[in-house]
Amino acid sequence: MVLHPEAQAVIAASAAAGAMEPGELTPAEMREQFARTWRLPDNAEPVGNRFEQAIPGPGGELWIRVYQPAGAGPFPALVWFHGGGWVIGSLDENEATCRALCRRAGAVVVSVDYRLAPEHRFPAAAEDAYAAVCWVAAHGSELGVDPRRIAVGGESAGGNLATVAALMARDQNGPALALQLLASPVTAPPSDERPSYRDFGEGYFLSRASMDWFFQQYPREPADLRDPYLAPLLAPDLTGLPPALVLTAEYDPLRDEGEEYAHRLLSAGVPCELVRYDGQIHGFFALLTDQLSIATVAHDRAAAALCRAFGVRHVPQTT
């Protein structure tokens, strides 16, 4: 399918803004520049309550932002991780998506402000992600959460952390999880062996150069690139993981590794739904919600999958 006009507009606007390539700025400057480009969409969905608090983490306090549905709980929960290559991003950029999933799935969404590289290299973010999941399972009643119904999710590097948290939960006899919601997940280091990297590595919003830079910032050493808690596609065994919804975009360098991971899950006997959004680019689910109308469609599909996993009725809200 041809590139969607909205995606074309995003790419053109990014080029016109003269976005700096990785390496021209420090990670801290990249974060500042990234934060300046973000604003909350005018049509962000209302929720019953929204607040922040600190929870214990392996490296000190972790901050979470909690979105609660209207009404009386306990509610199921989605522990959410933002994208940004483990280097940039914050709780703010996924505000619209967290609100939408909270309202449409009737779930408490717990968005996690994990530690960022290179100040905190692998496995810091992964350990923070798993610690947050364990805390929600153990203390969820404080948030109105039913600890028997917890899912994990994220976009890009956040999708990586979601499935890594699921791997850790399986390996360490941790909380039983209801679903993995993985939007354009990072599952392996960049590779030209994948057609999506060759075809869409330049000029389609997320670049190969950016991914190479992120993979220079996060690992401590080359051996980390072979660790399944960084590159889950390299995990020798994916059996016993929770069901998954994997969402990919046609014009995304990460498309093929996300789809390969979905097929690996299916081969391991893990129920998995794979959806590719043709004509779309990276960030369609959580980062570019005010620019790509497909986000609303994807949110509704994700909410439906969450409702099935939680055993509740889903009422479509796509207009």
Task: Please give the positions annotated as active site.
Answer: 156, 252, 282
Q: Apex CA 281: angle with CA 130 and CA 283, to 5°?
A: 35
* Distance from C-alpha of 248 to C-alpha of 193, rounded to nearest angstrom: 18
Question: Which of left, alpha, beta for 39 (phi over 0: left; psi -120 to 50: alpha)?
Answer: beta
* Distance from C-alpha of 95 to C-alpha of 93, rounded to nearest angstrom: 6
- Spatial contact of 177 and 147, defined as CB atoms under 8 Å apart: no
* Distance from C-alpha of 285 to C-alpha of 249, rounded to nearest angstrom: 9
Dihedral, CA of residue 217, residue 218, residue 224 and residue 230, to nearest 10:
-140
- Spatial contact of 109 and 66, defined as CB atoms under 8 Å apart: yes
The DSSP annotation for 300-312 comes to HHHHHHHHHHHT-
Q: How far is CA 319 from CA 280, 296, 299, in A?
A: 19, 8, 12
Under DSSP, is residue 151 helix (H, G, I), strand (E, B) or coil?
A: strand
- Spatial contact of 200 and 252, defined as CB atoms under 8 Å apart: yes
| Residue 14 one-letter amino acid | S
Under DSSP, is residue 201 helix (H, G, I), strand (E, B) or coil?
A: coil
With residues binned 3-state (H G I as helix, E B as strand, rest as coil), the percentages for the chain, rounded to 5, are 40, 20, 45
| Residue 261 one-letter amino acid | Y
Token pair listed for 64: 């979470």
